Amino acid sequence: MHPVKPVASRGSTAPAELRIGQGAFFSYALPAGWRVGEEGQFAVTLVAPDSRALTLMVGNAGLPLNYPPHQFAYEKLMAIRPERLQMSPPRQVQPLAGFAYAYEFEVSYGIQGAPCRGWVKVNGSPSYDQCILVMTAALAEKRQWPSYAP
């Protein structure tokens, strides 16, 4: 774990401690108190100190051209076993550098009866006869969402 220059969180003037971690497959920014939940070849999850929020990044290459971003997000979110997963209609947003398009979704679901919400962004890039899709998600228990959303 390597420290980086402290940064202020959105809406706050107080600096937040941020460290850059290096796993077997990913480098990631890790806020103070957060931990790596899982890291694999295609995904990494980071978990908040109170375990009531997490971030998730997962990507796949070699998907069929025009693979629906909402279907990709739905399939990847189902890996956390949500109850009653609901997704808003997709909203086209600015893609990350190196990607051709991106869509964002608001989500709501339950985990062991606890209501949760968050947002998901899927970035995509076509390449010959296939595409690459990468999903990032910020998710939290519904009553904690206002403090984690920024």
Is residue 65 within 8 Å of 126, Cβ to Cβ? yes
* Residue 8 pLDDT greater than 80, yes or no: no
Q: What type of residue sits at position 25?
A: F
Instruction: Give the pLDDT confidence score for residue 75 in this predicted structure.
Output: 94
For residues 92-97, give the mean pLDDT: 95
Better-predicted residue by pLDDT, 67 or 29: 67
Residue 85 and residue 63: Cα distance in Å, rounded?
Answer: 23
Instruction: Give the pLDDT confidence score for residue 16 in this predicted structure.
Output: 59
Taking all residues of the chain, what is their mean pLDDT, rounded to a whole number?
A: 85
CATH fold, domain 2-148, is Protein Transport Mog1p; Chain A (3.40.1000)
